[in-house]
């Protein structure tokens, strides 16, 4: 089982990779011939961002679980 610090680091690095991927999608598909259906993958920007979000869903769920576990481990403030 990975430690909490390792899990947090992996989630942080994955978020950075996903953010870089989103920026690349926006740069590559923003009003370029590829976004007009002349080449691979035959989809406009909103289609590419939809696929990016589809692949980001597991990371969003992992982050939610990580912070939920973090919240549950915090000592009570009362």
For residue 36, the model assigns a pLDDT of 56
pLDDT of 60 strictly over 80: yes
**Are 26 and 32 in contact, with CB atoms under 8 Å apart?**
no
CA distance linking residue 19 with residue 23, whole number of Å: 6
- Does the pLDDT at position 78 exceed 90? no
Distance (Å) of CA 5 to CA 9, 10, 49? 6, 9, 30
Q: What is the mean pLDDT of the chain?
A: 79
Give 5's contacts (C-beta < 8 A, 6+ positions apart). Answer: none
Q: Which residue has the higher pLDDT, 32 or 58?
A: 58
């Amino acid at each position: 089982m990975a430690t909490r610090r390792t899990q947090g680091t992996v989630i942080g690095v994955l978020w950075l990779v996903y953010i870089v991927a989103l920026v690349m999608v926006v740069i590559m598909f923003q009003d370029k011939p590829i976004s007009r259906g002349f080449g691979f993958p035959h989809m406009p920007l909103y289609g590419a961002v939809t696929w990016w979000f589809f692949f980001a869903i597991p990371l969003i769920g992992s982050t939610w679980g990580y912070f939920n576990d973090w919240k549950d481990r915090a000592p009570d403030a009362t």
